[in-house]
């Protein structure tokens, strides 16, 4: 079937819809998290623990505590006693794995582990740093997640949130790649266009397979990531999901100061301020949390979206949610479409039972691999700086920080409030 070349309708940009992250929550929380409710619930005895009685994540936590204790006290005899149930080979393997992971998160912790290994006489080859965990995304199972604001009254729509969920069953890892919506790409039927127009172009040009098929093709040709499945969400989903869960809690190391244009406000802005700490979000607040970017940028907003995925996952693991799974699924089923079959969902759920939280990774294609570009028409877009550098970054997806660490900041270096009086601003917004 021939496709029609078309002129893409450009409209005033609206705040990015947040609901596509519902799909990530459904894939990583509903399908995986709800069936893996044992995560984080395993008791660990931190005194003379037997290596054979601990799961891998528990062994890492135990070894990290032993390393921290040795760093503080220098008591090697105590460290040996606490590790006496480990064979030399298992201890060397576990310490190496823990050190490699910590180099991605906590250089101090990694140094403590390496110092403990050296004191115990465990030889390590090479220089400190993470072990190689390069991934070939052409060999993983990949799901393209799109969010569309398609509504009957709109002449044109966009998929302003685009990500790929990569699943590696062999290594029991999952990675989320967030793709900038303004990435300028070649698009069959439209020439050069922003990647967020792919679904619209595919639908309007009768591309074989429609919008999902064209979006999958464009992602593969632009980034080299083939996808086997897709999930598409409409914007209503996020508020409904979070409210159906009874709200979620996010951890903020620094207060969040944000706003969105609002013609009804005297200063033209609708402000949104959250304090540092454990912050409860209902559905409407969650949507603001992942859409507002007046004082930040798309990259910062994407990281907040990833934070919300983790919050939804944590909420979904709580026992009072389990009996409501059918109700939640039914309530949200009319807000998304997917080519995942029931059998696919079952396979994902089975995989999820084996998945560890630290094996869920997140990556944003940021300004290290893309740069600003102004088109001849005057559009501000993003282009890939260098394909080789992009592919190198994508190969490190499973070495990227765990999703649980995304968005964490140094509390000693929090940005100042753009509103002047942060506390009154926070009180005003939280009272709404």
Mean pLDDT over the full length of the chain = 77
Lowest mean pLDDT among 28-32, 136-140, 204-208, 225-229: 28-32
> Which token pair is 402?
């765990």
Lowest mean pLDDT among 7-11, 34-38, 143-147: 34-38
Burial tier of 275 (Cβ tally within 10 Å: 0-12, 13-18, 19+): middle
pLDDT single digits (tens) 309-346: 888 878 877 777 767 666 676 666 777 788 988 778 76
Domains of the chain from N-terminus onward: 20-38+136-430 (3.40.630.190), 51-119 (no CATH)
What average pLDDT score do residues 279-296 get? 88
131 confidence band (pLDDT: 50, 70, 90): very low
- Of residues 17 and 396, the one with the higher pLDDT is 396
What average pLDDT score do residues 376-392 get? 93
Range from 28-37, 74-83, 114-123, 247-256 that averages highest in pLDDT:
247-256
pLDDT of residue 51: 61
pLDDT single digits (tens) 119-130: 888 865 444 444
* pLDDT value at 45 more than 50: no
pLDDT of residue 122: 80
Whole-model pTM: value is 0.65
pLDDT of residue 87: 79
């Amino acid at each position: 079937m021939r496709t029609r070349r078309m002129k893409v309708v450009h409209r005033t940009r609206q705040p990015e819809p947040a609901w596509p992250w519902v799909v990530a929550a459904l894939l990583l929380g509903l399908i995986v998290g709800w069936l893996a409710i044992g995560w984080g619930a395993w008791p660990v005895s931190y005194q003379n623990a037997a290596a054979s009685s601990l799961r891998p994540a528990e062994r890492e936590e135990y070894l990290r505590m032993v390393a921290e204790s040795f760093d503080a006290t220098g008591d090697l005899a105590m460290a040996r006693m606490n590790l006496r149930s480990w064979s030399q080979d298992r201890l060397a393997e576990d310490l190496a794995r823990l050190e490699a992971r910590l180099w991605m998160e906590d250089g101090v912790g990694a140094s403590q582990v390496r110092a403990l290994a050296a004191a115990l006489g465990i030889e390590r080859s090479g220089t400190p740093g993470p072990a190689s965990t390069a991934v070939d995304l052409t060999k993983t199972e990949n799901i393209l997640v799109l969010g569309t604001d398609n509504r009957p009254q709109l002449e044109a729509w966009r998929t302003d949130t685009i990500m790929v969920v990569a699943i590696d069953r062999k290594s029991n890892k999952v990675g989320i790649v967030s793709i900038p919506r303004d990435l300028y790409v070649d698009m069959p039927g439209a020439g050069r266009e922003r990647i967020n127009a792919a679904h619209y172009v595919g639908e309007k040009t009768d591309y074989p397979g429609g919008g999902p098929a064209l979006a999958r093709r464009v992602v593969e040709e632009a980034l080299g990531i083939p996808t086997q499945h897709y999930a598409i969400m409409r914007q209503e989903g996020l508020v409904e999901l979070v409210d159906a869960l009874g709200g979620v809690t996010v951890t903020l190391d620094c207060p969040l100061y944000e706003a969105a244009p609002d013609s009804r406000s005297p200063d033209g802005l609708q402000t949104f301020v959250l304090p540092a700490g454990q912050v409860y979000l209902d559905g409407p607040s969650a949507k603001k949390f992942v859409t507002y970017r007046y004082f930040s940028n798309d990259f910062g907003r994407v990281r907040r979206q990833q934070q919300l995925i983790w919050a939804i996952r944590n909420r979904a693991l709580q026992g009072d949610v389990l009996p409501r799974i059918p109700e939640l699924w039914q309530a949200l089923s009319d807000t998304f479409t997917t080519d995942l079959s029931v059998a696919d969902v079952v396979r994902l759920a089975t995989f999820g039972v084996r998945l560890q939280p630290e094996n869920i990774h997140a990556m944003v294609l940021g300004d290290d691999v893309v740069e600003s570009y102004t088109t001849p028409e005057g559009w501000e877009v993003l282009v890939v700086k260098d394909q080789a550098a992009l592919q190198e970054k994508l190969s490190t997806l499973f070495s990227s920080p765990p999703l649980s660490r995304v968005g964490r900041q140094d509390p000693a270096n929090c940005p100042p409030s753009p509103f002047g009086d942060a506390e009154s601003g926070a009180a005003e917004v939280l009272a709404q």
